[in-house]
A = this chain, B = another copy of it.
Amino acid sequence: MRAGMTPVLDDALRAEFQAEGEWPILARHVVRWSEVDAYAHVNHTCYLEWYEDARIRLMEEAGLRLGPDRPGPVLARIEVAYRQPAHFRDEVLVGARVTSFRRTSLVMDYATWVAGRGLVNSATALCVMFVNTTGEKAAIPDSARQLWTARHNAKGE
């Protein structure tokens, strides 16, 4: 998944993946051989790797590039729903958005669609912003709060 290649969720993409809702962060991917198990199903951990990649891109969109001495998201909780299996060579679309935030934490939604089959996986994660080198919690910058309110339609406190 390449940075800067986020596709736009236009009508064509919505039709291809049967994707609903607004997802400001998107990435396309083709399932790799190394991502499937002995039943040819995508391993349950792969969705979490895709969501992690989307999370990092989501942070970069807000000017929060990962670094040990800068505020970065630490995963505190995640809830994942496995709706349908995905398979080797499936075309998948991965989406992410911020749904709410507080002073030092935020909630994100994630989703995976398969071309021609629709939604196969969804998740909700709570992250807390920390500076790794100090171990201290960090406030979400105003610029990120504004972006998430305006572009992600997130609810702030």
Contact = CB atoms under 8 A, between A and B. Distances in A.
Nearest to A128: B82
Contacts of A80: 77-80
Interface string A42-63: 0111001100110010000000
Contact of A68 (B39, B45, B48, B78): B39
Majority DSSP secondary structure for residues of A touching B: mixed
A134 interface: no
B78 A132 contact: no
A2 B2 CA distance: 10
Query: Copies of this chain, how many?
Result: 4
Question: What 3 A-B pairs have minimum CB-CB distances, sorted nearest first?
Answer: A45-B45, A38-B40, A79-B79
Contact of A52 (B30, B33, B52): B33
Interface of A: 1-3, 28-30, 32-34, 36-40, 43-45, 48-49, 52-53, 56, 65-66, 68, 74-82, 88-89, 91, 132
A13 to B, nearest CB: 14
Contact of A36 (B1, B28, B37, B44): B37
A56 B82 CA distance: 18
A79 B82 contact: no
Nearest to A85: B74
